[in-house]
Structure 1
C-alpha cells in the first residue's frame, strides 16, 4: 500500500518501536521492514490525534528539501 494523495516519494512501511513523549513535541521511532529505524519529531497533539502507540503499523513519509553531510 502506498499513499498517493500527497507528494511524498519516500514511503517506509513499518511498526512503531518507541514513542518518547514531551509536553509539546514527541519522537516516534518506526522500525521498517528492512530493519532500519526512521525517527520523526511531531507534535504530541498529533501523536494523540493519530492514536499512535508502540506496535501500530504505520507508513513513514520522508520529504526533505535539504540533506546535510558532515565529516567525522
Structure 2
C-alpha cells in the first residue's frame, strides 16, 4: 500500500458510531491520542472496519497550522 500523502498514522479502531448515512470512526494512534474521521457507512462495510482492528489515518491537507502558547 503506497500513498502520496505523507501523514499516515497507524492505529487501532477504538469506536465506530454509525449514523443514517455516515459513520464516525475513532482511531487511537498513540497512548490517548485519537484521530476521528467521518466516512460513509458503505466505506465502513467495504473496508470491513471493526473495533479493535488496525487501520491507518491518512491525512492529506493543503494547509497545516502551527500554534504555540
TM norm structure 2: 0.83
Structure 1's unaligned 5+ residue stretches are none
Report the counterpart of residue 60 of structure 1 in structure 2.
57
TM-superposed CA distance for 1:6, in Å, is 1.9
Report the counterpart of residue 40 of structure 2 in structure 1.
43
Task: Describe how 1:1-72 pairs up with structure 2 within 5 A.
Answer: 3=1, 5-66=2-63
Structure that is richer in strand per residue: 2
RMSD of aligned alpha carbons: 1.8
Q: Give the length in aligned residue pairs.
A: 66
TM norm structure 1: 0.79
Structure 2's unaligned 5+ residue stretches are none
